[in-house]
Amino acid sequence: MSFKRIALAFVLFDFTAFSLYVCVKEGPLGFIPNADSSLWYIQVFLDLCIAATFGARWLYRDAKSRGLNPIPWLVALPFIGSIAILGYVVFRPSEARQPESARPLTA
């Protein structure tokens, strides 16, 4: 396993642990009472939605190029946010698979 993948796994583990802590402490919908508390909150929320959309598009293309099914990761994205993208990056194969039509024929 490469250093880059180990570092990403560390970020995934720590961020997931922190997210679970917040979810237990504040509840899974604990952000809703503050949703209209300031324009900055709305701006940050919209910014995260835009970033997640770009991340979803990248994940879809990357998974397809590797011959993987992106649907489970994309379904998880609205529920667990960037944890889904981090999980995909950590657990995807490190090399893209060639599509069946591009593979050499063997006798």
Tens digits of per-residue pLDDT, 26-65? 998 888 887 778 888 889 889 999 999 999 999 999 999 9
- The backbone torsions φ and ψ at residue 57, rounded to the nearest 5 degrees and listed phi first, read -65, -45
Q: Where are the domains of the chain?
A: 3-93
**Burial track 54-86 (b if 16+ CB lie within 10 A, e otherwise):** ebbeebeebbeeeebebeebbeebeeebbbbbb
Query: Mean pLDDT across the chain, nearest whole number?
Result: 89
Residue 62 in tokens? 């990357």
pTM summary value = 0.79
* Residues near 82 by beta carbon (within 8 Å), at least 6 away in sequence: 15, 52, 55
User: Residue 92: its pLDDT value, please?
Assistant: 94
- The backbone torsions φ and ψ at residue 99, rounded to the nearest 5 degrees and listed phi first, read -65, 155
